[in-house]
Amino acid sequence: MHELGIVFYIIRDVKEVAEQNNVKRISKVTMDIGEVSTVIPEYLKDCWRWAADKEEVLRGCELEVNTLPAVSFCEDCRKEFPTVAHGKTCPHCSGGNTYLLRGNEVEIRDIEVYSNEQ
C-alpha cells in the first residue's frame, strides 16, 4: 500500500502552503486522482484520517477525492478514447499506436481553510 507514503507527501505540501499563508487550520483538501494512477481512493482516505489527525493544522480536516477518467490518444486516426474500456487499442480505427493523455494524475486541487482562523 503506497497510499500512506502519498499521504505523507500531501501533508507536507499542505503544511507548507499553510505556513506560507499564516493559516492555522485547514478544513478540507481536495485531490484529483487519475483512474489509472494506481492510487486507491478508499485507502488514501483511510491513511489520511490516521495521519492528518496527528497534525494540529489538519486535525479533523476532510479529504475529498475526485476521480479523473483516463483518456488515450490514437496517433493513427487522431482521436481520443476512454483508456479503461479499450486499453491500448483504439476503438475508432483498431490501431495500437496510442498513448495515455490523462488519467494518471495525483494532484492537490484545492485547500480550504476555516475562514475565522486564517
Q: How much is the pLDDT for 79? A: 98
Q: What is the pLDDT of residues 30-87, one digit of tens each?
A: 999 999 999 999 999 999 999 999 999 999 999 999 999 999 999 999 999 999 999 9
Q: How much is the pLDDT for 10? A: 98
Q: Answer whether residue 116 shows pLDDT above 80.
A: no
Q: Which domains does the chain have, with CATH numbers?
A: 3-12+24-69+102-117 (3.30.2320.50)
Joined together, the cell numbers standing for residue 106 give 495525483
Q: What is the DSSP string of 12-49?
A: HHHHHHHHHTT---EEEEEEEEETTSS--HHHHHHHHH
Look at the alpha carbons of 78, 38, 15, 64 in this order and tell me if their dihedral is positive or negative. positive
